Structure 1
Amino acid sequence: MLNSIVSRWMLYGTLWMVAVGSGYAQDAPLPEDLTTLGPEELLALELIPIDVLGAHIHPKGVWMAGYRFGSMHMKPAHGLHDRAYALEPKAMHTGMHMVEAMYGITDRLTLAAMLSYQRSILRLQTTEGMRYRITASGLGDVQIALHYALRASMVHYLTSFAGLSLPVGRVNLWSDRLPRPLPYAMRPGSGTWDMLIGLASIHRLKDWNLGVHGDALWRIGKNTYGYRLGHRIHAGAWATYRLWSWLAFTMHVDGHLLGDVSGRDARLDPHVSPMDDPALQGDRHVMVQPSINIYLPKGPLRGMRWALHLDLPLKVWHETAAMEMHRQWILALQWAW
């Protein structure tokens, strides 16, 4: 029901913005140094897709607020297990809300913070054929980072970031249907302090923007339940074509690498379900992501940017995963002032 309402609202909103934006003119010539531009001009360039972590820089004194809603569907990895489990996963859906805020400390240095809230639904089946539907929700970990523009010319834009993920999200969650703790993948928090680093390089060729990016999350230590989640590496490349000054299309190819859980939660028996096995929590997949980006340079919503992304698996490796990515879509908006 919620996904249907959000999807319909998203479609109506996109059609309205297309109609409003169709009368906007092309943008004027821009200076060589991007740090001389205002926040609305920077957003209008569509240099960086919204989903590229840590790649946005804002001028000194400028605030930016953002919101994203993502819907991710996962399914069991076929052909992985050679034996039956007492609880077999059948499908998993996660809806995630993310809010972010950024502030330009200088023209090249930006402070960013992000908080998420997720709700997951897992469908399980026993060897006797009984089906269970388990739900879980809660706040995720808080991410705080500094973004720095190493280069900010019209032709080449190079950014970096470094930060921390703070263990705010809950780890000790129990099933609402079964007398057991939730599996690793359903817990919104990590329980550990984690490091974040990343780099993005963008080249602008008239109405085309070509970019590559990479970021990593490194887990530090183990949580109070004796485990840590796997380290994560994310890298990709994209091409954006600006059809008009207010509308751009992007094709993004993403690679994701997530390691297995180190240690284990002693309350979970890895023989009961593959989702309780720390050695089956890793994931490796490549996604193709078409998206549409809309920027509003006039009217009451001036300075707002919208993006709609659809993630589809291009290649998935099954060797180390209890569940595999099936599809995902993300609606995102940003507003700078």
Structure 2
Amino acid sequence: MKFGLCFAFGFACLTLWQHSSNADGFDSYRSRADKHAPASIMGDHLHDPGEWMVEYKYMNMYMEDNRAGTRTLSDAGSFTYGDSSTPVTNQGATPTQMTHEMHMLHIMRGVTEDITVYTMLMLPSITMDHQRRGDGSAFTTHNSGFGDTTFGALLRLYSDVNDDLILNLAGSVPTGDIFRTTRIPSRGVTDQALPYPMRLGSGTFNAKPGITWKHYLESGSWGVQFQSDVPIGRNYRDYSVSDEFRLNTWYSHLLTDNFSTSIRLENLWRTNYDGADAATPDAMISTNVESFRGGYSLNLGLGAAALVKGHLLNVEFVPTLYQDLDGIQLETDWTMAASWSKSF
């Protein structure tokens, strides 16, 4: 069903495919500092036939304190919530803080005037702090390595001097490890599986269709993007991660042709997990609970971009404005993204 919906989305958009001839101003609009979307956004631009682009992007998500719905909980409150939640959880420990770093290598190549292909290699590094129930002692777990790999094609559906409508047909393959164990929570006595948020990939092939509309002005540009990430089936641990849907709108303002600032608003929806890994008992800790993975977030992006001798430097800071989370989860305080890219 999920795959069919993603295929139908792509087929419907392909029927709109049309391209207008270049006109005066077309190339000049797309060679300024705002030629790319804010740093957290991808899949928003194409390249000329035969042109390559290499990009390194660093992203960091910081989470502290737990939240049930829209309410922030103390560490003590997290244990109390777990005693009466459905299912009961946090009987062994509660998470208190997490940092999720991501290093990405993004490679794009223009195939035709209207088609650009790309791949993204991911290297996540995840650190989570916890508090044990009972004695209140703290411990930290860490996981890092290769994540899932994304392949995609960007198709220009429509273009004129001021507008680009781009379809993103992408998917990821499960190259990230989804099952590692640690003895840190049990003080070296028994192995325990790392909880869901600390795993490096989805374990499934994921469909990632999206669509972007960008409009260029003399003073800057604005854009709207819908992007999804939908797992296809369950992985070998018998679960699938959240369906994810993002709706972004942004405006980039030119201070000069080589420097721009941006403001962005993001709506993010995630569903709960489907299925369950038998090695993640719900009662132990809330990050093991499949029904505590969904929710809605509203995020604000504040960014800047500089074009320096053909090198594009892009940075964005993204505080969280509002969260309504299913069950009890670590709340996201902020994320940030910074990138360097060069076309040749």
TM-score calculated relative to the size of structure 2: 0.83
Aligned to 2:32: 44
1:73 aligned to 2:62? yes
1:160 aligned to 2:148? no
Contact 1:43 1:305 in 2 (8 A): no
Judged with a 3 Å threshold, the aligned counterparts in structure 2 of structure 1 residues 251 and 271 are, in CA distance, closer, same or farther, namely same
1:100 aligned to 2:106? yes
SS at the partner of 1:275? helix
Aligned to 2:3: none
Whole-Å separation in 2 of the counterparts to 1:266 and 1:163: 31
Q: 1:122 aligns with which of 121, 128, 135?
A: 128
Judged with a 3 Å threshold, the aligned counterparts in structure 2 of structure 1 residues 204 and 229 are, in CA distance, closer, same or farther, namely same
1:149, CA displacement in angstroms? 1.3
Whole-Å separation in 1 of the counterparts to 2:149 and 2:326: 31
Aligned to 2:10: none
Instruction: Give per-residue Cα distances to partners, 1:74-97, cap 9 Å, x unaligned.
Output: 122134735253210110111110
Aligned to 2:329: 322
Give the number of aligned pairs.
299
Within a 5 Å distance, the mapping from 1:1-337 to structure 2 comes to: 31-32=23-24, 34=26, 37=27, 42-44=30-32, 46-49=34-37, 50-75=39-64, 76-77=66-67, 78-79=72-73, 81-83=81-83, 85-128=91-134, 129-175=136-182, 177-178=184-185, 179-296=191-308, 302-337=309-344
Whole-Å separation in 2 of the counterparts to 1:331 and 1:175: 32
1:119, CA displacement in angstroms? 0.9
The farther-off stretch of 59-68 and 143-152 is 143-152
Whole-Å separation in 2 of the counterparts to 1:146 and 1:221: 23
Instruction: Give per-residue Cα distances to partners, 1:39-69, cap 9 Å, x unaligned.
Output: xx73425143143221120010000000111
1:33, CA displacement in angstroms? 7.4
Instruction: Give per-residue Cα distances to partners, 1:182-238, cap 9 Å, x unaligned.
Output: 111110111101111011111122112111111111110111111010111011100
Between the two structures, name the one with larger relative contact order (CA 8 Å, sep ≥ 6). Answer: 2
> What is the alpha-carbon root mean square deviation over aligned residues?
1.8
TM-score calculated relative to the size of structure 1: 0.85
1:176, CA displacement in angstroms? 5.5
Contact 2:61 2:336 in 1 (8 A): yes
Contact 1:93 1:122 in 2 (8 A): yes
Judged with a 3 Å threshold, the aligned counterparts in structure 2 of structure 1 residues 263 and 108 are, in CA distance, closer, same or farther, namely same
1:318, CA displacement in angstroms? 2.7
Unmatched tracts of structure 2, length 5 or more = 1-21, 84-89, 186-190
SS at the partner of 1:279? helix
SS at the partner of 1:311? strand
1:175, CA displacement in angstroms? 2.2
Contact 2:224 2:249 in 1 (8 A): yes
Instruction: Give per-residue Cα distances to partners, 1:303-323, cap 9 Å, x unaligned.
Output: 110111101011111334512
Amino acid at match of 1:306: L
Unmatched tracts of structure 1, length 5 or more = 1-29, 297-301
| Aligned residues with identical type, % of pairs | 19
Judged with a 3 Å threshold, the aligned counterparts in structure 2 of structure 1 residues 205 and 284 are, in CA distance, closer, same or farther, namely same
